[in-house]
Amino acid sequence: MINAKPTLKSTLKALLYLAPLLIVTITFTIWPLISSFLMSFYTKYNYFTNQVKAMGGANFAYLWQNPDFHLAVRNTLVFVIGVVPLTVILSLGIALLLNQINWLSSFFRTIYFLPFVTSTVAISLVWNWIFHQDNGLLNALLGGSVDWLNDPHYSLTALIIVCVWRGLGFNIVLFLAGLNNIDNHYYQAAKLDGASAWQQFTNVTLPMLAPITVLITVNEIISSFKVFDQIYALFHGQAGPANADLTMMYYLYQKFYVEGQYPVAAASGVVLFIFIVIITGLAFWYFQRHSIKIWGRRS
Amino acid sequence: MQVTLKGIQLAYDRHNKIFDQLSFHVQDGELLALLGPSGSGKSTILNLIAGLLTPNAGQILFDETDVTKLDARNRNIGMVFQDYALYPQLNVMDNIAFPLKMAHVKKATRREQAQKLAKLVHIESLLTKFPNELSGGQQQRVAIARALAKKPKILLLDEPLSNLDAGLRVELRDEIRHIQQVTGVTTIFVTHDQNDALRIADKIIVLANGVIQQVSTGADLYRHPRNLFVAQFIGSPKINTIPVANLIPYISKEIPASILTQAVTAAFRSESITNDPVANALMTNLPVTMTHQVQIGRDSQTQLQFENNRLISTAISDNYTQKIQTINVAPRGFFLFNDDDVCIWEGDAHD
Amino acid sequence: MKHLRQFLFASLLAFLALATLSACSSQQAGSSTKRVTITFWHGMTDSRKTELNHLIRTFNNSQTTYKVIGSSQGNIVNVQQKITAAAKSKTLPTIAQTVYTNVPDYVRGDIITPFDPYIKKNDLSDLHTAFRQSINYQGKAYSMPFSRSARILFYNKTLLKKEGLKVPTTWADIQKDGLQLKSKGITAMAFDQNFVTEADGLTRQAGSPLFGNGFDVNLTNKKSLAAIHVIWDMLQNGTATTAGTDGYGSVAFFKGKTLFYSGSSAGISTMQASTPKGMRWGTATLPSYQGQKVSSNSGNDIVMFKSASKAQRKGAAAFVKFLMSQKQTIKWAEKTGYVPLTKSAKSNAGYQQFLAKNPTAKAAENSLSFGFQDKPFLGYNQYLVAVGKSFDEMTANHVTPEKAMTQLQKQLPKMAKEQQK
């Protein structure tokens, strides 16, 4: 019945159908979210006994004054600004090249996708060698003698390189899917309309890829904000030399697991969450505002 | 501009030739229809003319200029795609002005020209809308305006009407004819629908399996089909066909024996079948049974059964209550084809 | 399709059959013996895990009351994280291997219980002094030593001979050797990821230790700073290096880029396995400073959780005593490269034989008499992170010890106050 009106019975039935997923989501997503949000306000708290003796904003005040946290925020922002545009541009570029060649394209596709499915630890081992000051590949290629991983001036760059490289494969596959979805007629029309190869790229390829670009960008922003395991593996369980690669997520880890400052860790998690919400919110707001240019429709 | 295709050969690989020795000519300012069933190679011809495909052999001439190797961008061709291919991120104005933008025309001039074109195709009120806010017919008009924007010498239309509903189809069909006459641009349009072609084309090329069957006007194709394919493809309802062998007892002496011995298939149009006596009838007293009669608009169609063959007549008067038992076939609209399906005899060409 | 379905059906049957069988067998085991089960989380892997399992089996076979079930969590960090999670979900094991400096946190969280009621002071009298001191928190023995090691000096025999140098007895010797080697692009000393452990020892030798009595330390007095300068100066003038992301100084050591390496004795077996061809190395006790010798003992202890039943606690104590017994601790030491926990092990004939065959193990044994361990206190880990950061500043950013220690000293009151929460 298409015109059936919702009744108490039908609503209950619907709830019953939804129940498994709802229970899973509430237990594993909503409840931890709420409890860590609450924990961030516990100022006198015994984690093991779960006793809360006082609540307040002291943990946030602590973060506000804590130079390590400031460093973590700054490093995270630098990291995001370094990784996101590079990843998007590089993966788009490589996807375009792969789309041009037919020969061996699936071979290259696999090559680029491999890092995504390889364990972080294995990747870090390889990069440790590449970045090594004395006999590393990178220094051999550049002819320099940079201690990429132990010099605080370079270690964040090193981390950015590894993360960009790791993210490429997945984004290339997404871009290739996007490119495959562009109807060849648009290129033919543009060609007949007198568009050069570059003009075809800017007037057909780019606008048509806009939705997938938005997806990739937002996804990259979120995952870059949450970067942790690459740091842990690349710098031997440290946040880089002299905390040069201390990110917000690493700070959270350190406060929670190493220092046992559970409420401070929770508070830094809340701040990280707010950062991500604001930045992805801004991104979506921007894309919504310009949606007509991007998707060719008002939303 | 005149368009000439000479000895075009096109093959995707060695064994699958799409065209072999394809040649035809389009006059300047002519509206030419490429008519054929799907898979006949009509759209491929458009792509060859547009420069989106390059032939393996042969020449394409615009007037006297050989453009076979010329890039699509430089052929000065306007093309309307079956799915319109409007840029979704651009509004109507920018879509129409796009070719001008590519040609680095100033913005003010672009807008002015786009407005003029919009007026020509009656979409001046839609200039700020985006493609996905438009109906199919409106998108079609935008696509035509865009194709005309850089004042092309040749306009190509690929199945321009096939995505439209019946009413719009008729309207836009006439619109295309109107626009073509106003602009005087040499126009080639591809269709699988004979009505579109017959209605507006100056000249029709009938195509089947990559081979040109006949090039002529619509009337000529109907009256003088060169072969069985054309006879069957043109005309509605479809022409009646029966093996000559089945008809021998009823065929009149009008047809010379020399012809009859070569003839394999007889075809006769529905309007040639009547139950009234006909002067110079080519076949008389064919025993039939009437199975069905329907009124379609102005016409009435009568379905008859002759031996194992089903015949359709539009010349039997409607509301005919009496059971018909025999029919006669008039000379006009009667054709005989040999075993190569070539027409060897036309009923009314021998008076 | 049909084959697939048949296959699935067959596997389901097989699975059910197996499940029933295993259910039967476990029931049998349970009903026939009625042993008290003691669960034990540890961080041992590979050969050490095999050896530990062997010890557990020996214990299980030695009596009929208890049954220890060991479960490796991959590494000590994982054990720690798992304890943090299990404390919440109330799924803690009976005992676990952990860093003894976690004890104050666990006591505060009220999740562990002391061994005192089950293990008499007398039973511990043979343990090395450093071990006996480290397990003591607020007057109670909250942990029992298990996998312990000592910091020792590794030296490149070939290089030493080539340069005509001797095994150093003081830090000044190393400084001197460094100047001689510098022109050859070889450092005198390599440290692990950072030099906190060595600085800990040096400041202790100087009489003003980095890790003293909780947050009540004086980091900026002259003695302490001079001790840190011993290493910092070497790092600055290029006669010593830290391993950084190499993790261990043994990497540089094996490349022949350093003459000495200060590392943990627990690494000996791994190092023996990865020694490059043609290289010969030896071990010695760490050199003295200000006429004193010390060696930092590190490693892991066993703690017992409050959630365990009385019978389990008794069993756990019995198991731990078994592990600390002369025979077992020597066996454990011989197989794993950890040190024997008891003083009398040294005079054990079997162990002496072992040392004669394995001269590299001598240095660690000899270090135990002057071994030390940081006193555990609430906030130790937080302090350790802060110290690590300060030392990183000194290494990576060339900040002077004076500046780094002054900054660290300033943070102490605040850190101490946070622990009151």
Q: What is the CATH number of the domain that holds B181?
A: 3.40.50.300
Which residues on A lie below 8 Å from B129 (Cβ)? none
Is B252 in contact with B284 (CB distance < 8 Å)? yes
* Residue C327 and residue C215 share a domain: no
Q: What is the pLDDT of residue B320?
A: 60
pLDDT value at A299 more than 60: no
Of the residues B209, B230, B251, the one at which a domain ends = B230
| Residue C25 domain-assigned (yes or no) | no
> What is the spatial distance between Cα A201 and Cα A96, in angstroms, rounded to a whole number?
10
What's the pLDDT tens digit per position in C185-236? Answer: 899 999 998 999 999 999 999 999 999 888 989 999 999 999 999 999 999 9
* Residue C234 and residue C87 share a domain: no
Is the four-CA dihedral B249, B255, B258, B263 of positive or negative sign? Answer: negative
How many domains is chain B partitioned into structurally? 2
Q: What is the mean pLDDT of chain B?
A: 89
* Residue B150 and residue B211 share a domain: yes
In this structure, what token pair is assigned to residue A43? 């100022």
> What is the spatial distance between Cα B167 and Cα B157, in angstroms, rounded to a whole number?
19
> What is the spatial distance between Cα A261 and Cα B215, in angstroms, rounded to a whole number?
88
| Residue C404 domain-assigned (yes or no) | yes
Is the four-CA dihedral A105, A108, A112, A115 of positive or negative sign? Answer: positive
Q: Is residue B87 less than 8 Å (CB to CB) from chain A?
A: yes
The amino acid at B94: D
The alpha-carbon gap from A207 to the nearest alpha carbon of chain B, in Å, equals 7
* Residue B217 and residue B292 share a domain: no
Reported confidence tier of residue B225, pLDDT bands at 50, 70, 90: very high
Of the residues B215, B230, B245, the one at which a domain ends = B230
* Residue B298 and residue B241 share a domain: yes
Look at phi and psi of residue B290 and say left if phi exceeds 0, alpha if psi is from -120 to 50, else beta.
beta
Q: Is residue C109 less than 8 Å (CB to CB) from chain A?
A: yes
Helix (H, G, I), strand (E, B) or coil at B67: coil
What's the pLDDT tens digit per position in B101-110? Answer: 999 999 999 9
Of the residues B208, B230, B252, the one at which a domain ends = B230
For A236, the closest of C108, C193, C395 (CB atoms) is: C193
Which DSSP string corresponds to A5-49?
A: PP-HHHHHHHHHHHHHHHHHHIIIIIHHHHHHHHHTTEEEEETTT
| Residue A138 domain-assigned (yes or no) | yes
* Residue B154 and residue B22 share a domain: yes
Find the Cα–Cα–Cα–Cα dihedral C296, C302, C306, C312, rounded to 10°: -160
Instruction: Show the domain range for B119.
Output: 3-230
Q: What is the mean pLDDT of chain A?
A: 88
Instruction: Show the domain range for C65.
Output: 34-148+298-363
List the chains bordering chain C where 3 or more Cβ pairs fall under 8 Å: A
> What is the spatial distance between Cα B69 and Cα B53, in angstroms, rounded to a whole number?
10
List the one residue out of C405, C419, C339, C377 whose CA is nearest residue C152: C339
* Residue B120 and residue B33 share a domain: yes
Instruction: Show the domain range for A95.
Output: 60-295
Query: Which DSSP category does C342 fall into?
Result: B
Q: What is the pLDDT of residue A39?
A: 93
> What is the spatial distance between Cα A171 and Cα A88, in angstroms, rounded to a whole number?
7
Query: Which DSSP category does B342 fall into?
Result: B
The amino acid at B167: G
| Residue B351 domain-assigned (yes or no) | no
Separation in Å, CA C64 to CA A8, B189, B226, C61, C241: 62, 97, 107, 7, 54
* Residue C115 and residue C246 share a domain: no
* Residue C130 and residue C44 share a domain: yes
Q: What is the pLDDT of residue A284?
A: 81
| Residue A155 domain-assigned (yes or no) | yes
- Find the closest chain A residue to B149 by CA distance: A193
* Residue B164 and residue B15 share a domain: yes
Is A200 in contact with A190 (CB distance < 8 Å)? yes
Average pLDDT over residues A270-279: 93
| Residue B265 domain-assigned (yes or no) | yes
For C244, the closest of A49, A68, A150 (CB atoms) is: A150
Q: What are phi and psi of A279, to 5 degrees?
A: -70, -40
Q: What is the CATH number of the domain that holds A172?
A: 1.10.3720.10
* Residue C264 and residue C144 share a domain: no
Find the Cα–Cα–Cα–Cα dihedral C155, C157, C161, C163, rounded to 10°: -40
* Residue C194 and residue C156 share a domain: yes
The alpha-carbon gap from B78 to the nearest alpha carbon of chain A, in Å, equals 7
Query: Which DSSP category does C275 fall into?
Result: P
Higher pLDDT: B315 or A74? It is A74
What's the pLDDT tens digit per position in C228-261? Answer: 999 999 999 999 999 988 889 999 999 999 999 9
Which residues on B lie below 8 Å from A186 (Cβ)? 85, 87
Find the Cα–Cα–Cα–Cα dihedral A252, A256, A262, A267, rounded to 10°: 0
| Residue A14 domain-assigned (yes or no) | no
For A183, the closest of B75, B85, B131 (CB atoms) is: B85
Q: What is the CATH number of the domain that holds C189?
A: 3.40.190.10
* Residue B121 and residue B24 share a domain: yes
For A189, the closest of B81, B89, B103 (CB atoms) is: B81
* Residue C269 and residue C347 share a domain: no
In this structure, what token pair is assigned to residue B345? 């005899």
* Residue B277 and residue B212 share a domain: no
* Residue B105 and residue B57 share a domain: yes
Q: What is the pLDDT of residue A49?
A: 83
- State the number of CA atoms in the 13 A half-sphere of C238 facing the CB: 9
How many domains is chain A partitioned into structurally? 1
* Residue C288 and residue C396 share a domain: yes
Residues in chain A: 299
Q: Count Cβ atoms below 10 Å from residue C101 Cβ, excluding itself.
A: 22
| Residue C14 domain-assigned (yes or no) | no
| Residue A274 domain-assigned (yes or no) | yes
* Residue B248 and residue B223 share a domain: no
| Residue C386 domain-assigned (yes or no) | yes
Higher pLDDT: C371 or B347? It is C371
What's the pLDDT tens digit per position in A179-213? Answer: 988 988 899 999 999 999 999 999 999 988 988 88
How many domains is chain C partitioned into structurally? 2
> What is the spatial distance between Cα C186 and Cα C257, in angstroms, rounded to a whole number?
5
| Residue B89 domain-assigned (yes or no) | yes
Q: Is residue B150 less than 8 Å (CB to CB) from chain A?
A: yes
* Residue B292 and residue B173 share a domain: no
Q: Is residue C396 less than 8 Å (CB to CB) from chain A?
A: yes
For A48, the closest of C110, C193, C247 (CB atoms) is: C110
The amino acid at A45: Y
Q: Which range (B246-250, B334-338, C3-7) has the least confidence?
A: C3-7
In this structure, what token pair is assigned to residue C371? 């071994």
Reported confidence tier of residue A38, pLDDT bands at 50, 70, 90: very high
Q: What is the pLDDT of residue A65?
A: 92
Reported confidence tier of residue A114, pLDDT bands at 50, 70, 90: confident
Is A68 in contact with A259 (CB distance < 8 Å)? no
| Residue B219 domain-assigned (yes or no) | yes
What's the pLDDT tens digit per position in B287-344? Answer: 888 888 888 888 788 888 888 888 998 888 766 656 667 888 888 889 999 999 999 9
Residues 6 or more apart whose CB falls under 8 angstroms from that of C399 comprise C393
Average pLDDT over residues A118-142: 87
> What is the spatial distance between Cα C369 and Cα C358, in angstroms, rounded to a whole number?
19
Quickly tell me which residue has 């031996």 as its tokens: B307
Is C245 in contact with C130 (CB distance < 8 Å)? no
* Residue B204 and residue B260 share a domain: no
pLDDT value at B265 more than 90: yes
CB pairs under 8 A between A and B: 76
Is the four-CA dihedral A50, A52, A57, A62 of positive or negative sign? Answer: negative
What's the pLDDT tens digit per position in B167-207? Answer: 888 888 888 899 899 899 999 999 998 988 998 899 999 99
Reported confidence tier of residue B350, pLDDT bands at 50, 70, 90: low
Is C303 in contact with C96 (CB distance < 8 Å)? yes
| Residue A34 domain-assigned (yes or no) | no
List the one residue out of A283, A265, A297, A275 whose CA is nearest residue A45: A265
Q: ipTM of this model?
A: 0.83
* Residue C162 and residue C124 share a domain: no
What's the pLDDT tens digit per position in C121-133? Answer: 888 999 999 999 9
Which residues on A lie below 8 Å from B149 (Cβ)? 193
Q: What is the pLDDT of residue A298?
A: 52
Helix (H, G, I), strand (E, B) or coil at C388: helix
